[in-house]
Amino acid sequence: MSSTEEGGGAVGAVSTDQTIIDNNTNNDYVRIDMRFTDPLSDGEVANLRSLYEAFYAGQPNFTAKPLIRKVPSALRRNEDFKKYFMPKVISIGPLHHDDLTLIESKELKLKLAAHFVKKVGVDGESLYSNIKKEMDGLRKCYDPQELENYSEDNKELAWMFFVDGCAILQAVYMRYDDDDDDGKLFIKNDLLRFVYSDLFLLENQLPFRVLELLTSSSKNGEKFMDVIKRFIDDTVINPGEDSQGSSNHKNQRLVEEP
């Protein structure tokens, strides 16, 4: 704050020409010239200062890491938009974990996770430990407000990541593996289609690092990551080719064997 009149220095005692200047990291500033015959009170100066505070508060931070969070409330009120963030069959991650309409998915996820642990060839305790070791970093992938109900010891959240991550890997593997007869005994193809549609919803997400941790300690893990990449390609990158090429994918070997 400055004055063009000599001796005008104290807040609220500045006469005619007043200027509020705020420097930012780019050496730019917001300048507000106030030409009044009467001095401004502290409250009036604070009101005017709020203009440039609001200006800088709204500037996007392009260096910030994208976070998994709930969609804005304005979009949540739109019934047509709910199909993009509300899961129909299975909850993935913490944002819909306690949704009572998805309570049956907990048993489904446990069954899928159990089949994954058996196929990947690594004991469940080791896989769970891999998740626990990196929980501090995994928590940072979410808006902190969304994890306020989860304790700092991370045990509940780590178990959720473990089960949900294993379930994703097994469900997607079953899409491409015709030989997985055990998995087909407890889940029908029609239900799997709904599961697949839930995996890309905005609020139904896990950090990709979870899948890497679950597959990195076994050679068998490579085939699971292979089908995840195919699934992303078929569903997101080249979705038009999936209807024509899905049967061909199923007939391909998931991992080339010597």
Q: What is the pLDDT of residue 205?
A: 93
Q: What is the pLDDT of residue 74?
A: 86
Report the predicted TM-score, pTM, of the whole model to 2 decimal places: 0.69
Average pLDDT estimate for 201-229? 93
Q: What is the pLDDT of residue 206?
A: 95
Q: What is the pLDDT of residue 1?
A: 44
Average pLDDT estimate for 107-117? 94
pLDDT in tens, 11-25: 443 344 455 455 555
State the chain's mean pLDDT as an integer: 79
Report d(CA 95, CA 89) in Å as an integer.
14
Domain ranges of the chain: 2-57, 73-251
Report d(CA 250, CA 179) in Å as an integer.
10
Report d(CA 247, CA 251) in Å as an integer.
7
Q: What is the pLDDT of residue 78?
A: 86
> Phi and psi (nearest 5°) for 82?
-60, -25
pLDDT in tens, 163-177: 999 999 999 999 888
Angle at 195 between CA 191 and CA 177, to 5 degrees: 80
- 95-109, 206-220, 229-243: the lowest-pLDDT one: 229-243
Task: For residue 130, give the nearest of 225, 207, 68, 213 by alpha carbon.
Answer: 213
Q: Which residues fall within 8 angstroms of residue 214, CB to CB, at 6 or more apart?
A: 116, 120, 127, 130, 131, 162, 165, 166, 169, 221, 224
Check whether 8 has a pLDDT greater than 50: no
- Measure CA 84 to chain center: 14
Percentage of the residues of the chain whose pLDDT score is greater than 70: 72
pLDDT in tens, 43-84: 888 888 888 788 777 666 665 678 898 988 888 888 888 889
Task: For residue 116, give the nearest of 185, 172, 190 by alpha carbon.
Answer: 172
Q: What is the pLDDT of residue 14?
A: 39
